[in-house]
Amino acid sequence: MPVRKFSFLFFVFSIIAGLIGAVMGEWVLTSYYGVWPNILLMGVYFAQLAFWAGLFCLLAELINPTINGRSWRLEYSGLSWKVLVPSTVVMLFAAGLIFQFFYSLNFSTVKPPDDIVIVMDISDSMNKSDPKRESLKAAAKLITTMKPSHRASVISFNDKAAITKSMFPISDKKESLAAREQIKRLEYDGGTTIAGALDTALKEIDDNHMPGRKPMVILFSDGYSKLNLTKAIRPYQDHEIIINTIGMSKINTDGAQLLHSIASRTGGSFHDVQKANEFTNVFEKIYLENQDRLLMTERYGLVKDSLYLVVLRVVLITVIGGLFGLALGMIFDNRYLAKSYTVTGLISGLLAGLVLEIGLQSMSGFSTRLIADLLLTVLTALGTTIIPIREKFSKQTRQAPTGPDISATTAKRDRFSKGF
């Protein structure tokens, strides 16, 4: 007769696994985004999360065999250790790799930007907020990391805006070197005119327009200036040009709020820099975010609200959840557990996918991913509590054997009665 089983230790350990997996996954994203291919990044992310889930659930059952029974611990736990890595790391690595590949495919007319306009604040206030000129170094380094097929332009502004380096192809090494040298020679002085910077950037885009190429703006400022926001960004909205912004709320809250509004109204992202040494990572992150998308991170630009990508992510994460449940069933070598965990895994995957879609728009990335990861590990592990399962061992197999022949017969019957 099907019964529901609940193990408090199993439940607690699945929470611990989710927490460790979320922290490790965040470290992987932070350390290797832009270094590893995206498909490898997502493969590793889900592989390590599944491994921790499988490992801690296995440990919980070894300590207190409530779900699978003492007979499993005595005779079959060795097999569980052998299939732990194949059923978690291998299977979920392959799934993450394949699913990220499908998620990154572009079936729409929306394409990533080809021409990057870097707009830099060089007002006098930068002498205090960025005394080591980290923002200028970050802009120069960004040029070295862009794809050869891209073009770039650099605009600097204080009381007025000026073109530091007009649009040039990244593939031209002499032009790229010249751009980096001109950025290094910039000096901090004067006030702040964000309106003038936006006008100059738009004129630069218009003057260097090439059919089939899509422009994008990265705007940084540590200050605030008055402007008619609707009028300033209307041309960008009309031409679907994304403006990504970087501000320093710690230095100027009003300025950061203005930059946030500029980004959100044009489909871009806003990044709040607390310390000047964060500039390099932020510039590169903005560039990467607008070139691709990850299953576990927020979308930006014109694909931000794509219904197709919303549905695709939820479906793919749902399947990931199902595979998490299947992995647990494989570890315990039991088809009844596999069925129960797979069903709850699909449910947890569906909820995790919805959390990612909703949460990434209003919460921090890590907080959203933490909730999603906990759903994948904890809710999936509650499979036998939610869905009744059949007993794996009969009453006869639980009785102590009385002799060698009976022992051998019992062992054979136990192996036959196992789920897999």
3-state secondary structure the chain: CCECCCCHHHHHHHHHHHHHHHHHHHHHHHHHECCECHHHHHHHHHHHHHHHHHHHHHHHHHHCCCCCCHHHHHHCHHHHHHHHHHHHHHHHHHHHHHHHHHHHCCCCCCCCCCEEEEEEECCCCHHHHCCCCHHHHHHHHHHHHCCCCCEEEEEEECCCEEEEEEEEECCCHHHHHHHHHHHHCCCCCCCCCHHHHHHHHHHHHHHCCCCCCCEEEEEECCCCCCCCHHHHHHHHHHCCCEEEEEECCCCCHHHHHHHHHHHHHHCCCEEECCCHHHHHHHHHHHHHHCCCCCCCCCCCHHHCCCHHHHHHHHHHHHHHHHHHHHHHHHHCCCHHHHHHHHHHHHHHHHHHHHHHHHHCCCCCHHHHHHHHHHHHHHHHHCHHHHCCECCCCCHHHHCCCCCHHHHHHHHHHHHHHCCC
CB 95 within 8 A of CB 323: yes
Smallest Cα–Cα separation from 54: which of 96, 86, 94, 8? 86
> Of 54-68, 106-120, 194-208, where does mean pLDDT reach its minimum?
106-120
> Of 101-110, 216-225, 274-283, 292-301, where does mean pLDDT reach its minimum?
101-110
Q: Which value, to the nearest 10 degrees, does the dihedral of the CA atoms of residues 129, 134, 135, 136 take?
A: 120
Does the pLDDT value for residue 408 go beyond 80? no
Hey, where are the domains in the chain? Answer: 13-106+305-309+351-368+376-389, 115-291
> pLDDT tens, 172-196?
999 999 999 999 999 999 999 999 9
Does the pLDDT value for residue 413 go beyond 80? no
Confidence at 10, pLDDT banded by 50, 70, 90: very high
Task: Tell me the average pLDDT across 42-46.
Answer: 98
Unique residue bearing structure tokens 């950025």: 183
Top-ranked range on mean pLDDT: pick from 101-115, 213-227, 381-395 = 213-227
Identify the pLDDT of residue 401.
Answer: 46
Identify the pLDDT of residue 95.
Answer: 97
> pLDDT tens, 347-361?
999 999 999 999 998
Identify the pLDDT of residue 124.
Answer: 94
Identify the pLDDT of residue 108.
Answer: 62
Identify the pLDDT of residue 392.
Answer: 55
The CA angle 131-134-136, to the nearest 5 degrees, is: 110
Smallest Cα–Cα separation from 298: which of 348, 377, 362? 362
Fold of 115-291: Rossmann fold (3.40.50)
Task: Tell which wins on pLDDT, 52 or 308.
Answer: 52
Confidence at 386, pLDDT banded by 50, 70, 90: confident
> For all residues of the chain together, what is the average pLDDT?
88
Confidence at 407, pLDDT banded by 50, 70, 90: very low
What percent of the chain has a predicted confidence (pLDDT) above 70?
91
Task: Tell me the average pLDDT across 58-83.
Answer: 90
Residue 324 burial class via C-beta count within 10 angstroms: exposed 0-12, middle 13-18, buried 19 and up:
buried
- The span from the CA of 151 to the CA of 170, in Å, is 5
What percent of the chain has a predicted confidence (pLDDT) above 90?
65
Identify the pLDDT of residue 49.
Answer: 98
Confidence at 221, pLDDT banded by 50, 70, 90: very high
Smallest Cα–Cα separation from 53: which of 17, 5, 3? 17
Identify the pLDDT of residue 130.
Answer: 92
Identify the pLDDT of residue 68.
Answer: 83
> pLDDT tens, 265-313?
998 889 999 888 888 888 888 887 777 789 999 887 667 778 889 999 9
Identify the pLDDT of residue 232.
Answer: 93
Does the pLDDT value for residue 93 go beyond 90? yes
- The span from the CA of 2 to the CA of 5, in Å, is 10
Does the pLDDT value for residue 368 go beyond 50? yes
Task: Tell me the average pLDDT across 36-40.
Answer: 92
Does the pLDDT value for residue 1 go beyond 80? no
- The span from the CA of 224 to the CA of 347, in Å, is 47
- The span from the CA of 163 to the CA of 200, in Å, is 8
Confidence at 391, pLDDT banded by 50, 70, 90: low
Task: Tell which wins on pLDDT, 363 or 51.
Answer: 51
**Cα distances (Å, whole numbers) of residue 192 to 136, 157, 224, 251:** 16, 7, 7, 14
> Of 133-147, 340-354, 381-395, 400-414, where does mean pLDDT reach its minimum?
400-414
